[in-house]
Amino acid sequence: MEWRDEGVILSSRKYGEYDAILEVLTRTHGRHSGLVKGGYGRRQRGNIQPGNEVMVSWRGRLENQLGTYSVELKRARVVSFLYHPSKLAALNSCCSILCVTIPEKEIHEVLLDGFLIFLSSLEEAHQDKIYWAPLIVRWELGLLSELGFGLNLENCVATEVTKDLAYVSPKSGRAVSKKAGEPYHDKLFRLPPFLIGTTKNIKMQDIIDGLRLTEFFIERYVLSPAGKQIPQARRLFKDYMV
């Protein structure tokens, strides 16, 4: 069997002395793994970094085999982040999240397109974390939605009002108004204002609250049922925000 597809490298790990095993989020074959012979040699090592946009050709005797990849670099996106540790941490976090949340070989073209848009936005964004970190929270909310676990942040779960929303219920994944949630505020997640249209005067605490919110629901809805945990790269990225 043989096919050719475009995608983004999600992970690269050494196999033997010079070979590499890649996970690639491809357009028409989903998250797919393959062996790159000589991948960690001097000539190919820079091409197979997570975040790079590539064209891959996969070959295997059977569909369920690991198979082998040949890789053509389309865009070395990771180069843009090498001298910006917090952005690089964000890139690694997103790649690692995709590795553990998307079932292997399940096609998600919308996720690939969204990820490419996200990477372009991250490349172009101001270096100050306060300007680009909200992108991570919105991207993770979009991931939840694409996987069928979208949160409802449009109206209050208790009163149906659409104004003065301040919290998110951990039980329902729905917004709660300030008045309805105040008696239970210690049991609810704080809803960052930038997630409901207020993009001015974003504070770092808003971003941290957003990351806590998405992490909880990614773990609850996607990872825990599969016996998985939030990747270490995601936890390391959150440390950059504190």
Per-residue confidence (pLDDT) for residue 15, from 0 to 100: 93
Across residues 5-20, what is the average pLDDT?
Answer: 95
Confidence check: pLDDT of 60 > 80: yes
**What residues have CB less than 8 Å from 231, skipping those under 6 apart?**
93, 96, 97, 99, 100
- Work out whether strand 174-177 and strand 152-156 pair parallel, antiparallel, or are unpaired: parallel
Which residue has better confidence, 220 or 241?
A: 220
What pLDDT, in 10s, does the model give residues 187-204? 999 999 999 987 778 999
155 and 175 in contact (C-beta within 8 Å)? Answer: yes
Confidence check: pLDDT of 95 > 80: yes
Confidence check: pLDDT of 178 > 90: yes
What pLDDT, in 10s, does the model give residues 136-145? 999 999 999 9
Per-residue confidence (pLDDT) for residue 75, from 0 to 100: 94
Across residues 204-219, what is the average pLDDT?
Answer: 96
Task: Give the count of alpha carbons within 13 A of 88, CB side only.
Answer: 9
Confidence check: pLDDT of 1 > 80: yes
Percent of the chain residues topping a pLDDT of 90? 81
Q: How confident is the model at residue 226 (pLDDT cuts 50, 70, 90)?
A: very high
Q: Which DSSP letter does residue 79 get?
A: G
Q: Which domains does the chain show, CATH number per domain?
A: 2-75 (2.40.50.140), 79-241 (1.20.1440.120)
Confidence check: pLDDT of 63 > 80: no
26 and 56 in contact (C-beta within 8 Å)? Answer: yes
Cα–Cα distance list, 238 to 87, 93, 133 (Å): 12, 9, 10
Q: How confident is the model at residue 161 (pLDDT cuts 50, 70, 90)?
A: very high
Q: Please tell me whether the overall predicted TM-score, pTM, comes out greater than 0.85 for this model.
A: yes
